Amino acid sequence: METREQYTSTLSYLATCISMLCGGTTSLFATYGSSFGEVLGFTQYETNLVASLGDYAHYMSAPLFGYLSSRIGPTQVVQTAGILMFAGYMGLSYAFKHFSNPTEQSNHYVATMSLLFALVGVGSKAAYMSSMATTAKNFKQSRYSGVALGIPLSLYGLSTFVFSSVKAGWFESDKSPSRYLAFMAIVSGIAHIAASRFVKLKQDPRDLAAVAAAERRRAISLATANNSNVVLKDINGYDGSNNMQADVIEMKETRRRRTTVSSPNTVNSNGDYIGITAGSLTASTLGGSDMSADSEKSATPFSSVPETRVVDTPVVSPTSPIALVQEQPVIHRFRKDPIAWAMLLGLICFSGPGLAFVNNCGSMVRALSHKTTLSPEQIGQYKDKIVATQSFFSFASRLVIGYLSDIWRTRLRLPRSGLLVISALLMIYAQNVAASVSKLEDLYPLAILIGTAMGSVFTLAPTITSETWGADNFGVCWGIITLGPAIGGHICNLIFGSSWDEGQLRIATRMGPEVPQDRLQCDNECFIPAFLTTIKIAYLGLFFFTIVLCLPKAASMTWRRRD
C-alpha cells in the first residue's frame, strides 16, 4: 500500500512539473510582441497595453484559482488551464493570420488581442496555482520544502527558454507568428489535459484524524442533546433492587457530563480527553463528599462493571485546520497582517521593473539593431536568444535558490526573507545597467541579471508564504500576493510604452517631416528614460522587502492564539 502511495505521489509531482513547464509561456510575448507593430500596425503603447492587460488577467486570477485548487482539487483546475491556453493561443494565431493588414479599426484589434492574450494569461495562472498549491500541501511536512517548490517553479521559468528555442529553430523564417502560436495552442492543450489525470493531493493523516474527531464530537453532542435524561441501569445484569444502588446508578445526563469534564481522570498527560469509564465511577464522584460510608459500600458492585468509554475524542490543536476554520475567514486575518502588505507592496515594486524588460526586450533589440548589418531574420534570432537567456537564468536561479534557501534556513538559521533583500539589490543593479545600454551586446548581461533576480524572488516568495500562513491557506494567500506583479507590471509597461512613443516622436521631429517614419529608427533614446524611472521603483521594492525581513513574527502574532 505504501509503495502504491509513493508511486501515485511521484506521478502527481511529475505531472505538476509538466504542467508548469508548459504553463509558463506568457513571457514568450517578447518573442512575437514586435509583430503587433510590424503586422498589425500597433504603436508601442498599444502593444504594451496588450501585454499589461494580459499580465492583469494572469495575476488577478490567482486568488480565484488558489481558492478553487483548495476547494475542488487540482484536477479540474489543470483541465481549465489547458482549455483556456488552447483557446487563447489559437485565437491569437487566427488573428495574426486574418488581421494582417492595418486598418482604421486598430482600436478594435487592441481589444480583441488583449482579450485573447488574457485567456493565455489566465490559463497559465490556473496551471501555476494548481501545481503550486498541490506541491505546497503534499510537501508541507518535508524539511526540503524549498527544493520541492523550487523544481516546478524552475521549470515554469524554463518554459520560455524551451519554447523560444523551438521558435528560433522552426518558425523564425515566418513573417507572421501565426503558425508558431497554433503550435503553442496544441502543445499547451494536450500537456495540461494529460497532466490533469495524474495530479493528486496527498491526504495528511493528521488532518483526517482531526476531521474524524470533529465528526465524533458532533455525533456525541447530538446524542446527548436528544437523550439528556438517559438513566444508566441494568448494567451487566445488575437488577437495581437495592434502593441506594439505584440512587447511585440513576442520575441526570447533565450531571454525568459535568462530572466527565471536571474529573481529573478525563485528561491524559498529552492533554487529550479520555473520557469517564463505568469502572471509574464511585459514590464519591456521583454523590459528592457528603455520602456515608455505607453508601459508598453499597455502590461497590458498580465498580465491577466492565469499562465502557463515554468520550474518546482528542483535543484539536488551536493551530489545526479545524480550529482555523472555526476562526474568522482567511482573507480577513490575512489582510490584517502587516507582513502580508509588505510582501504585496514589495512584489509590486520589484516585479514592475523586471517585467518591463521581460515584455519589451524584443523592442529593445529592434531599437538597437538598426545600427548593425543584421538581416531581419538574424534580428529575430537575436531577439529569441535574449528571451531564452533571461528564461534560462530564471530557471537556474529558481532551482538553486530553492536548495540555497533550505540551507539558509535550516543550517544557518536565517530567515528566507534575507534572500529577498539580496534579490532586490540585484534588481536595482540590473535597472542601472538597463539605463546605460548602448549596443546589442549589453542586453545579454542585462538578461542574466533580470532572469536571476526574478527567478529568485518568485521562488522565495511562495515558499515564505507557505511557511508563514500555512500550506492549507497557500492557495488563497499566495493568490492575493501575486496581484503585486500585475499592478507593478502594468505601471512599468505603460511607463516604457509612453517613453518609447515620446522618444520616437522626438526622433521624427529631429529628422524632419520629409523623412518617412521608420519604426526601426528608434534607438536607446526611446527607452533609457523609462529605466531611469524604474530604478526608483526598484528602490521601493528593496524598502518593502526589508520590512518583511524585520517583521518575522508578525504572522504568528496574527494567526496563532496566545495561551
Phi and psi (nearest 5°) for 267?
-125, 130
Residue-wise pLDDT for 449-470, tens only, equals 999 999 888 888 888 887 777 7
CA distances, 483 to each of 60, 396, 417, 465, 487 (Å): 5, 24, 19, 14, 7
> 375: Cβ–Cβ under 8 A, 6 or more apart, which residues?
none
- How far is the C-alpha of 447 from the C-alpha of 529, rounded, in Å? 19
pLDDT band at 518 (very low <50, low <70, confident <90, very high): low
Total of domains in the chain: 2
Measured CA to CA, the distance from residue 380 to residue 35 in angstroms comes to 11
Domain boundary among 262, 287, 317: 317
What is the C-alpha separation between 127 and 214, in angstroms, rounded? 33
Distances (CA, A) of 19 to 237, 262, 300, 406, 458: 66, 55, 69, 24, 17
Cell (9 digits) for 178: 501565426
Distance between CA 163 and CA 157 in Å, rounded? 11
Instruction: Quickly count helices (H) and strands (E) in the chain.
Output: 25, 0
Q: How far apart are CA 229 and CA 221, in angstroms?
A: 14
Which pLDDT band holds residue 276 (cuts at 50, 70, 90)?
very low
Using alpha carbons, list the distances in angstroms from residue 420 to 79, 343, 425.
Answer: 33, 10, 9
**Are 457 and 339 contacting, i.e. CB atoms less than 8 angstroms apart?**
no
**Alpha carbons 411 and 408: distance in angstroms, whole number:** 6
Residue linked to cell 482555523: 324
Q: CB neighbours of 277 closer than 8 A, spacing ≥ 6?
A: 307, 308, 309, 310
Is the pLDDT reported for residue 355 higher than 60?
yes
Considering only residues 345 and 490, tell me which one the structure prediction assigns the higher pLDDT: 345
Q: Does 410 lie in the same domain as 264?
A: no
Integer Cα distance of 27 and 360 in angstroms: 10
Residues 444 and 551: beta-carbon distance below 8 Å: no
Residues 96 and 59 in one domain: yes
Q: Are 399 and 467 within one domain?
A: yes
Using one digit for the tens of pLDDT, what is the confidence trace for 70-126? 778 788 888 888 999 999 999 988 888 877 555 444 456 788 888 888 999 899 888
Dihedral, CA atoms, 533, 536, 540, 546, nearest 10 degrees?
Answer: 140
For residues 155 and 303, state if they share a domain.
no
Q: CA-to-CA distance for 313 and 27, rounded, in angstroms? A: 52
Q: Are 470 and 555 in contact (CB under 8 A)?
A: no
CB hemisphere CA count around 53 (13 angstroms)? 15
pLDDT reading at 325 higher than 50: no
92 and 231 fall within a common domain: no
Structural contact between residues 465 and 140, judged by C-beta atoms closer than 8 angstroms: no
DSSP annotation string for 36-81:
HHHTT---HHHHHHHHHHHHHHHHHTHHHHHHHHHHT-HHHHHHHH
Residue 349 — pLDDT band, cuts 50, 70, 90? very high
Pick from 357, 339, 498: which is nearest to 427 by CA?
357
E strand intervals along 184-271: none
CA-angle at 120, arms to 426 and 27, nearest 5°: 25
**In this structure, is residue 232 part of a structural domain?**
yes
**Are residues 504 and 385 part of one domain?**
yes
Show the cell assigned to 354: 523586471
192 shares its domain with 294: no
Residues 451, 484 within the same domain: yes
> By residue range, what is the domain housing residue 218?
207-317
Each residue's pLDDT tens digit, 212-254 = 566 666 767 666 655 554 444 444 444 444 444 444 444 444 4
pLDDT tens per residue across span 151-179 = 887 788 788 888 888 887 788 777 788 88
Residues 243 and 343 in one domain: no
Mean pLDDT of the chain: 73
Compute CA 328 distance to the chain's CA centroid, rounded to the nearest angstrom: 22
- pLDDT of residue 27 exceeding 90, the answer is no
- 464 inside domain: yes
**Domain annotation covers residue 295:** yes
Indicate the pTM of the whole model. 0.62
What are 41's three cell numbers?
A: 500596425
Same domain, 477 and 374: yes
Q: Return the minimum-mean-pLDDT range out of 301-315, 325-339, 433-447.
A: 301-315
- Which residue matches cell numbers 478553487? 68
Quick one: 122 and 158 in the same domain?
Answer: yes
Helix axes 106-138, 145-166, angle to 10 degrees: 150
pLDDT at 107: 53
Note the helical H segments in 411-442.
417-434
- If DSSP states are collapsed to H, E and C, what string results for 73-103? CHHHHHHHHHHHHHHHHHHHHHHHHHCCCCC
Which ranges in 337-375 belong to alpha helices (H)? Answer: 338-369
For residue 450, what pLDDT is reported? 93
The domain boundary, picked from 317, 340, 366, lies at 317
Residue 498 has pLDDT above 90, yes or no: no
Residue 197 has pLDDT above 70, yes or no: yes
List, in order, residues 6 or more apart from 280 with CB less than 8 Å away. 263, 265, 307
Neighbours of 350 (CB within 10 A): 30
d(CA 532, CA 530): 5
Q: How many CB atoms lie within 10 A of CB 177?
A: 24
Residue 322 placed within a domain: no
- Going 93 to 378 to 529 to 391, the CA torsion angle's sign is positive
Q: Where does a domain end: 291, 317, 343?
A: 317
Vertex 43, ends 41 and 49: CA angle to 5°? 115
What CATH number is associated with residue 476?
A: 1.20.1250.20
Whether residue 56 is found in the same domain as residue 159: yes
CA–CA distance, 37 with 44 (Å, rounded to integer) = 7
